[in-house]
Structure formats: structure tokens, C-alpha cells
Structure 1
């Protein structure tokens, strides 16, 4: 792994290639985020529970393969995983417009595509997080994560802004073509990255259970990593409840069309972009540990404004609240991702990332089901209230942990944990 000092990550040609690949891949991902539920809501006329079940299928991959994905990725070169999963996701998404044109598209086809795409995304995300320390060195993780978060945020603005009018013009199923092309371009660009991490040496007696156990042990032994994982799990559970009913609320209770929904989601992207631009500075000013619990405590309560919104100007005020949620979310994720990457040794990067993801993302399918069930029983607005309260409470585990005052990840502790 390269550790030489560099003047800035964007001056590295390989980081620029990863940056460009991330831009196209995330554009595709943001279009999918809007298009899949709109296919269910507008094209297939799905009810609230079916929309919640779609969210579950989209995120069930973390629960199904979350732990073994880390062990498998640690046995492979990460760049190869990035390329292969991007191209596979592009092909899977391509089946949606083809099924639509053949008049074969059904809610079950949509569920299947969402599930397969989600499983592939688990492998992609684990490899992406694990590859960055090899590419930029551990001393530039905060900058690298901030730059990648910035481009994700730009696509969070442009993706829904592009997808909304496209859905209105050609329909949600055909709009998925943009996602397929974006992910294919991401895979092609990643093939140009010349930096090759050393191929992991195969274990004399490779055992999946033992490899998974190493990642679990590393995360559970560190109080800060345990708190981050538990806080993330709480946040994601209630965030997905909130998101599962947000599009239903906007389309059926506020009366927004696909263009208006795209504008609302672009507002969330604006908040994420601001968060990416200030994340490194805020972490240095407040401290890497405190910012992890302060961000949700400050930025989650205003999301309740959406539940009280009515057609008209109050929607604009509510968008400010969810933009703040995105801002705080990016600041928190940049800080905790950099903390996690700095602590994990090279040989465990994939497993540590996968373990944290398994626990914190494994609850997301439950969040989708709960959101759909609560929406059916009490309505979309009540579910948004519940989501706002739960996301705010996600600050509790990290507040009552050493992260409350910890400014940076101690290198000597990382070395001790790796033994």
C-alpha cells in the first residue's frame, strides 16, 4: 500500500479514475432509488405494504450476504470486484425496460431485480470502502472520503433532477436504462485504475466461518466501533421506515408528480453536497468522535416537518429539514468511515467493513417491512413522525461511548487490535 505523502488526492490519476467511476455509478444508483419505487407506485399501482416490501428486497442483500461478502472480498483484488459487480448490476437493471416492452413486468419481477441488484451492491460497497486505503494511503483517508462523498452528493442532486422529468416523459421502467448505462460506464472506468493492491495470500486452511469471526471479533472488541455500528443500525432502521413512506406521502397526500418528487430529492442532495464540502473541516473542528453523535442529534429532528406538510409552501420548508438530514448524514458517514478505515489492518479491511455493514444495514429490510406495515395501519404521515424520532435517538449509543470526546482514531490502538 502506498504511504508516500501527496499534495492532494485529485492529483493522483488513479484516484481521478475512481472519482469518475463513482460519479457515473452513483448517478445510476440515484436514478434507481427514484425509479424503482415509482415503477411500483405509478406503473404497477402497488399499495403501501408492497412499496415497503420492495424496499426490503432492495436492501435484503446486507442481511443475506453481508458477513461472507467481507471474507470473500478480502481474498480478492478489490478493483476486480468493483468492475465485475458494476457490469453485473448494469445487466440486471437492463431486464426491467426489456420486460416492460415485452409486457412481462410484474411486481415479482421488480422484487427479483431489486434483490439481485442489492446483493451485488453489497459486494461493490465492501470492495469500494476497502480499496480506498490502498489507493490513497491512510493519511489521506479523510480527504479521499470527503471527495467521494462530494461527488455522491452532486449525483444526489442531479440524479433525481434527471430521473423526475424522464419518468414523466418516457415512464419509470424506461428511465432505468440511465441507471444501467451509468453502472456500465462506472465499471469500464474502473478498469483504467492502474494501482494494483497485492493479491491477498491464500490461507493454508481457508475457512469462511473463521474469516468471518475475525472481522466480528475486531469490531466487537473496540468500544467505538461497537457504538458506531449500533448507532448506524438504529439510524438505518428508522431512516428506511421514513424513506419507504416518503414517496407515497409526496405522491398521494401532497399530490406531487414525478418531476416534483425529483425536485424534493434533489433538495436532499443539496444538503448532502454541503455536508461533503464541510465534512473534513467540521471533523477537525469538533473532533472525529463528537461529530458522529452530534450530527444526528442536530439534523434529524427537523425531518418531522415533512409529516406536517400540506400542499403549498410548507413542503418547501419541509425540504429544508430533509436537506439538513442529508447534510448531517454525510458529515457523520465521512467521519466514521475514516475512523473505521484507519483502525482496520489491510488484511481485515473487507471483513471489518462487511461486519459493520451487516449489523447496521441488516436491519434495513426490517425497516422497509415496518414502514410498509405502519403506513398501511396508521398512514404515511404518522410513519414519517416515527422515523424522525427514531433517527434522532440513534445518537444515544455513540454519545455513551469513548467517541464522545475522542478526536482521532489512535494508531497504537489499531495496532493492538490487529494482533
Structure 2
């Protein structure tokens, strides 16, 4: 009796090539990693630049941060409708080039003696505008690069890179600030975006990924936007994820906490930029731990429980941070950052993969845009509110308020049975 030495097509189909061995994913992952490292350096340097070089107030820090995320409110929804018809890879390349040009204006302005708060605000808004298109395209692009079954693995690899960048970025930024002026460090970020664009150019997909014909009437655009919003907010799972994430973002690192943290660490606790960078670097080891263990944790505990527990960890971390004193500032900041980084990483891998799993391919960009509109739309509000409250009632009372709201952010997940009882990712999109 003859025994086949090669697997049948059915068996081969059941054994898809791992994401690490797929050239398209390798290019996407490389671009994502390079861009994330440059971005994390920028996130660390810009508020330090505003505080130390321009003597910015917490209110001005809030304004800068708010303008970086305001484009998600202004153009996020139409961007999603457009990206369901445009070539997502080309959009990401264009956005990378646009961000490189925008960030390069800061070192040029510094050398020309034109660096100012208005320039920081303008550059922040421009970077945010390009980031809207890049981020929505990025999350809609992954399921076309790998199979739907592999999207959790792909998201885990991308999240691992983001975590590694968060680990090394602040430390590298702090070290560079000891010898190089802050505006010149931003040249690194401009170069990273250009490298990311080149790497994305290596991704090659079938013709099915080509953009669909544009609609002929403006009403079609409004219809597509409305379809995306209805899909998200009528879908109980997506709605609960949007509410939970939007609430936590209001008071998170992109919102109120991001504004208050730098001022609290440098002014209230008396840390130097280098010490702050070191504390954030060590603490962000929690992000690497979360990225490595997220899949195993979901298998052991269940997806719903993991989402709820991971979402509550940010509030717990801010409680720890609020107890910091100058004599133990670094270890307290390390502990708080570690708890927060681990929770955010586990939650992001799980919730992004869940959103992709329950959404049909043709709705992915509009779903991402609608979710981003809801969850990123709270960022400028949180940044402005955090900066204002810190200037009126002080940074520590503002941190206590942030902690309380952060702990409540998991309520939409707890109250939604479809999320609370989930054991694993759905195999097919659900309407």
C-alpha cells in the first residue's frame, strides 16, 4: 500500500505558514517596528521640550496634546469610508512621508530661532492628521496580509514591537537629552518614518486589495459613514469595547494622564528627564510581559475575563502613581508603569483581534474609523481637561480623579454578556 510522502491540499491548507515566514508580514512588521521606535522617542521628547525649552504650562501641554488627537474627531469618519476604497498600503506610505516632513519642521524651527508653542501645536495637528489615516489603514491592512485565523498572532507580534519601543524609547530619549538638544533628537523620528515608508513599499498583495471605484455622489460617502457607525453601535460587542476604551482613553496616557504625568514627574517629584526615561523604560518591561503571555492568558482564563481584568489595571496603576513621593519616586513610577503597560498591552491585543474577528472584510476600515472616532475622540477632551484641572487643583488631586475614572472604564465590558462570557475569538464575523 502506497503512503503519500506529501500532505494533501486539505492538510496543507490546515497548516498555514506562520506569520514570521510570510514576506509581506515581515515587511509590515519591520515598518511598524521602526516607526514605533521613532514615535516613542517623540512622545517622550516633545513634552520635555515644551516644559524645559519653552517653559510651557500644564494648560499649554494639554493644548498641544489635544491638537495631536483632534483630527480623529474632525476627519476620522470620512477617512474610514475612503480607506474601504483606497489602497491601504499606499495611504500608509503617504502618511509616513507626511509625518516625516511635519516632524522635521521642529528641528528646522529650532535652528532658525522660530521654535514656539504655536509651532508645536501646528506640527502636532499635522502629525495627528496623517496618523488618522495611517492608524485606520494599519488595523484594516493586517487581515489582508495574514489570514483571519492568524490576526491574533499578527496583532501580538505588532504589539510586541510597540512594547519594545515603549521599553527602549523613553530611555534612549532621556539619554539623548543629556547630550543633544531636544529639537534635534526629533530628526531621528523623521528618519524613522521615511524608513517605515520604504519598508511598506516592499509589501505585495493580490489584485483583490486594489481600491474599489469611488462612489459618484457625496451622499454615498455619508451613507458609508452611517453604515460604519450603525455597525459598531448596534453590535453589542463592538459598542462595549468602544465605550470602555473611550472612557479609559479620556483619562489615559493619550488624554489627561499623558499631560499630567510629565509635569508631575519633573516638577512635583523633581526627576530629571534622564531619570524619568529610565523609570519608564524599566516599567515598560510589563508591556513585553503582556505581549508574550497574552495568548496563553486568554487560553487559561477566557477572553472576556482577560479583557475586563486588563482594562482595570490602568486605574490600579494610577492609584500607585498617585502615592509617589520624591524620596521613592523612581521605584513607584516603575511599579505604576509596569502595571499599566502590562494591562494596556494585553487589552489591546485582545480587543483589536476581537474587533477584527467580528467584522466582515469590506467593513473593516469603516469599523476601525468608527471605533477610533469614539475612542480617540475622547483624547483631546481628556488632554485639555487634564491640563486645566492640574493648573487649578494641582497634579496630585487630578491624578486621583484620573484613577477613579480609569477603574470605572471596565463597566461596559462587565455589563455586556457577549463580552463577559467569551472564552475565545469567534471563528466567523457576526453581524
User: TM-score band, normalised by the shorter chain?
Assistant: over 0.9
Structure 2: gaps (5+ residues): 1-12
Which residue of structure 1 aligns with residue 201 of structure 2? Answer: 191
Which residue of structure 2 aligns with residue 319 of structure 1? Answer: 334
Instruction: Please state if 1:29 is matched with 2:39.
Output: yes
Q: Contact conserved, 1:230 with 1:359, CA < 8 A, in 2?
A: yes
Which residue of structure 2 aligns with residue 398 of structure 1? Answer: 413
Instruction: Please state if 1:305 is matched with 2:316.
Output: no
1:85-124 to structure 2, matched below 5 A, reads 85-124=95-134
Note the C-alpha offset of 1:383. Answer: 1.4
Tell me the TM-score normalized by structure 2: 0.93
Q: Of residues 51, 69, 84 in structure 1, which corresponds to 2:94?
A: 84
Which residue of structure 2 aligns with residue 69 of structure 1? Answer: 79
Q: Contact conserved, 1:73 with 1:350, CA < 8 A, in 2?
A: yes
- d(CA) in 1 for partners of 2:321 and 2:425? 36
Instruction: Please state if 1:46 is matched with 2:56.
Output: yes
- d(CA) in 2 for partners of 1:4 and 1:53? 51
Q: Alpha-carbon deviations, 1:193-216, whole Å to 9, x = none?
A: 122452132255452111111111
Q: Alpha-carbon deviations, 1:333-368, whole Å to 9, x = none?
A: 111100111111111110000100100110100000
RMSD: 1.5
Q: Alpha-carbon deviations, 1:311-339, whole Å to 9, x = none?
A: 23343033212211110111011111001
Instruction: Please state if 1:238 is matched with 2:251.
Output: yes
Tell me the secondary structure at the aligned position of residue 251 of structure 2.
helix
Q: Contact conserved, 1:268 with 1:322, CA < 8 A, in 2?
A: yes
Q: Alpha-carbon deviations, 1:139-191, whole Å to 9, x = none?
A: 01111000100011111111111111112211111111111111111111110
Q: Contact conserved, 1:306 with 1:321, CA < 8 A, in 2?
A: yes
Tell me the secondary structure at the aligned position of residue 309 of structure 2.
helix
Matched residue count: 413
Note the C-alpha offset of 1:7. Answer: 3.8
Closer, same or farther in 2 for the Cα pair 1:65/1:280, shift >3 Å? same
1:279-294 to structure 2, matched below 5 A, reads 279-294=294-309
Closer, same or farther in 2 for the Cα pair 1:268/1:279, shift >3 Å? same
Note the C-alpha offset of 1:61. Answer: 1.6
1:19-418 to structure 2, matched below 5 A, reads 19-196=29-206, 197-202=208-213, 205-206=216-217, 207-239=220-252, 240-401=255-416, 402-411=418-427, 414-415=429-430, 417=431
Question: Which stretch shows the higher mean deviation, 164-173 or 113-122?
Answer: 164-173
Note the C-alpha offset of 1:48. Answer: 1.1
Note the C-alpha offset of 1:234. Answer: 0.4
- d(CA) in 1 for partners of 2:62 and 2:330? 23
Note the C-alpha offset of 1:301. Answer: 1.2
- d(CA) in 2 for partners of 1:166 and 1:80? 33
Closer, same or farther in 2 for the Cα pair 1:164/1:298, shift >3 Å? closer
Q: Of residues 13, 19, 39 in structure 1, which corresponds to 2:23?
A: 13
Closer, same or farther in 2 for the Cα pair 1:405/1:6, shift >3 Å? same
Give the structure with higher Rg (CA): 2
Q: Contact conserved, 2:286 with 2:338, CA < 8 A, in 1?
A: yes
